[in-house]
């Protein structure tokens, strides 16, 4: 499980690099990629989710997401089989 130092937007390059370099490891992004730090960057959050949606070894944990908008983005833009509730 990855507790990102910043958020999915700012750490996206590193997330993609790690997932490709270690493709045999499953990565779980805790707290939706730290949604609390993305509140004012909704469009960037959705774009980041879209960029990782097809990377098979990335999963997203929804614990701590208390904003329906971000949960809705995940459900619309990410593979539902890799969303952890």
Q: How do the domains of the chain map onto residue ranges? A: 12-84
Percent of the chain at pLDDT > 90 equals 79
pLDDT, tens only, 44-73:
999 999 999 999 999 999 998 888 999 999
Q: Give the three-state DSSP class for 18.
A: helix
Q: Give the three-state DSSP class for 61.
A: strand
The rounded distance, in Å, linking the Cα atoms of 30 and 49 is 13
């Amino acid at each position: 499980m990855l507790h990102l130092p910043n958020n999915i937007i700012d750490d996206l390059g590193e997330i993609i690099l790690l997932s490709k370099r270690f493709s045999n490891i499953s990565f779980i992004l805790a707290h939706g990629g730290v949604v609390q730090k993305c509140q004012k960057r909704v469009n960037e959050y959705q774009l980041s989710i879209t960029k990782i949606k097809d990377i098979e070894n990335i999963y997203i944990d929804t614990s701590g997401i208390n904003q329906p908008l971000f949960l809705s983005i995940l459900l619309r833009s990410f593979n539902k089989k890799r969303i952890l509730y």
